Structure 1
């Protein structure tokens, strides 16, 4: 029976930890999603000229480009 009591005390401790964590999370100040999304859109628009995913990478400055080409004879 001591194993059963130990198990129930462990579950009580785990439940208390969960409740404490949920209280901490509930007390956090949240930012409205609409504000965050508009900030993200504005940032992307301001930096689109330097974004390599949009503009591409020049072959001369691409460090991952193969230096030599393979030619089969």
Structure 2
């Protein structure tokens, strides 16, 4: 009835569930608090918050385009 392939896939699934069941879980509130603390500690170097200096911006055009 069952092929060897489906038995093998079922065994892999059971093994994966065992691995996941044995993983240590971290509470979401602790993880969120750690993420907020990390963001606050590194906000001075975040280019989205602090901005990028025009002299060091690699995407800013160095020359202006002149049409003749």
For residues 50 and 10 of structure 1, what CA distance do their matches in structure 2 show?
52
Larger Rg: 1
TM-score for both structures, normalised by structure 1: 0.82
What secondary structure does 1:42 align onto?
helix
The alpha-carbon deviation at position 64 of structure 1 amounts to 2.0
RMSD value over aligned CA atoms? 1.4
Unaligned runs of 5+ in 2: none
The alpha-carbon deviation at position 43 of structure 1 amounts to 0.9
TM-score for both structures, normalised by structure 2: 0.88
Runs of 4+ that moved beyond 2 A: none
2:53 matched to 1:63?
no
More helix by share: 1
Matched with 1:44 is 39
Unaligned runs of 5+ in 1: none
